[in-house]
Amino acid sequence: MNFKSDIVLYQTIGSNVKHYRAKAGLTQMQLAEKLQISISYLSKIEASGCVKSLSISVLNHIANTLHVDIKDFFNKQGE
């Protein structure tokens, strides 16, 4: 899969984190607590207008906590 820019990449990841968090029935506060990260950091990851880089380690931790495959965060919506 290819992304036109880093902005599109981070927006795709953020949108998917938000989607899978909601699917798991968790609020941002609940997920942030499980991940032991600030709610501010999580909200920046999920924000569509914010480009917030994150480490693979954090992304892996999110995937494990939400019980999804890390590669699912890279799928563009509708694909």
- pLDDT value of residue 1: 78
Q: What is the SS3 assignment for the chain?
A: CCCCCHHHHHHHHHHHHHHHHHHCCCCHHHHHHHHCCCHHHHHHHHCCCCCCCCCHHHHHHHHHHHCCCHHHHHCCCCC
CA distance 54 to 9: 11
- Beta-carbon count within 10 A of 57 CB: 8
CA distance 51 to 69: 22
pLDDT per position in the chain (79 positions), as tens? 788 998 899 999 999 999 999 999 999 999 999 999 999 999 999 997 777 778 999 999 999 999 999 999 999 874 4
- pLDDT value of residue 15: 94
- pLDDT value of residue 78: 47
- pLDDT value of residue 49: 74
- pLDDT value of residue 22: 97
